[in-house]
Amino acid sequence: MRYEEIVAKTNEVLSEYTGKLTLRQIYYRLVAVLMIENKVSAYNQLSRMLVKARERGVVDYTRIEDRVRRVEGSDGVFDNPNEYFEAVIRSMERQINSYDANRTMWTSQPRYVEVWTEKDALAGVLVDITRLFKVPLCVARGYSSFTFVMDAVKRFKEADDDGKKLIILYFGDFDPSGEDMVRDLRDRITRYSGLDITIRKVALTQELIDEFQLPPAPMKESDTRRASFIAKYGDVGVVELDALPPDELRRIVIDAIENEVDMMIWEGDKQSTEEEAVQVKKKYKRIKELISKDVRR
Residues 182, 123 share a domain: yes
Give residue 65's pLDDT. 86
Residues 41, 147 share a domain: no
Structural domain that includes position 172: 110-261
Residues 89-107 have a mean pLDDT of: 80
Q: What percent of the chain shows pLDDT beyond 90?
A: 54
CATH of the domain at 226: 3.40.1360.10
Domain assignment of residue 131, yes or no: yes
Residues 133, 38 share a domain: no
Residues 123, 257 share a domain: yes
Residues 115, 45 share a domain: no
Confidence of residue 73 (pLDDT cuts 50, 70, 90): low
Confidence of residue 165 (pLDDT cuts 50, 70, 90): very high
Domain assignment of residue 105, yes or no: no
CA–CA dist 102, 293 (Å, integer)? 29
Give residue 154's pLDDT. 95
Domain assignment of residue 81, yes or no: no
Residues 154, 49 share a domain: no
Give residue 295's pLDDT. 58
Residues 115, 53 share a domain: no
CA–CA dist 80, 257 (Å, integer)? 46
Weakest mean pLDDT among 200-204, 217-221, 231-235, 267-271: 217-221
Confidence of residue 75 (pLDDT cuts 50, 70, 90): low
Give residue 209's pLDDT. 95
Residues 175, 51 share a domain: no
Q: What is the pLDDT of residues 228-256, one digit of tens each?
A: 999 999 988 899 998 898 889 999 999 99
Give residue 24's pLDDT. 85
Confidence of residue 80 (pLDDT cuts 50, 70, 90): confident
- Residue 164, pLDDT > 90, answer yes
Phi then psi for 106, rounded to 5 degrees? -105, 0
Domain assignment of residue 268, yes or no: no
Domain assignment of residue 204, yes or no: yes
Domain assignment of residue 287, yes or no: no
Is pLDDT larger for residue 154 or for residue 280?
154
Confidence of residue 139 (pLDDT cuts 50, 70, 90): very high
Helices 263-296 and 81-97 meet at what angle, rounded to 10?
Answer: 160
Residues in the chain: 297
Cα within 13 Å of Cα(54), Cβ side: 14
Domain assignment of residue 55, yes or no: yes
Residues 126, 58 share a domain: no
Residues 257, 135 share a domain: yes
Give residue 70's pLDDT. 60
Domain assignment of residue 30, yes or no: yes
Residues 114-137 have a mean pLDDT of: 89
Q: What is the pLDDT of residues 9-39, one digit of tens each?
A: 999 999 988 778 889 889 988 987 889 988 8
Residues 136, 54 share a domain: no
The residues near 72 (Cβ < 8 Å, ≥ 6 apart) are none
> What is the number of structural domains in the chain?
2
Residues 254, 135 share a domain: yes
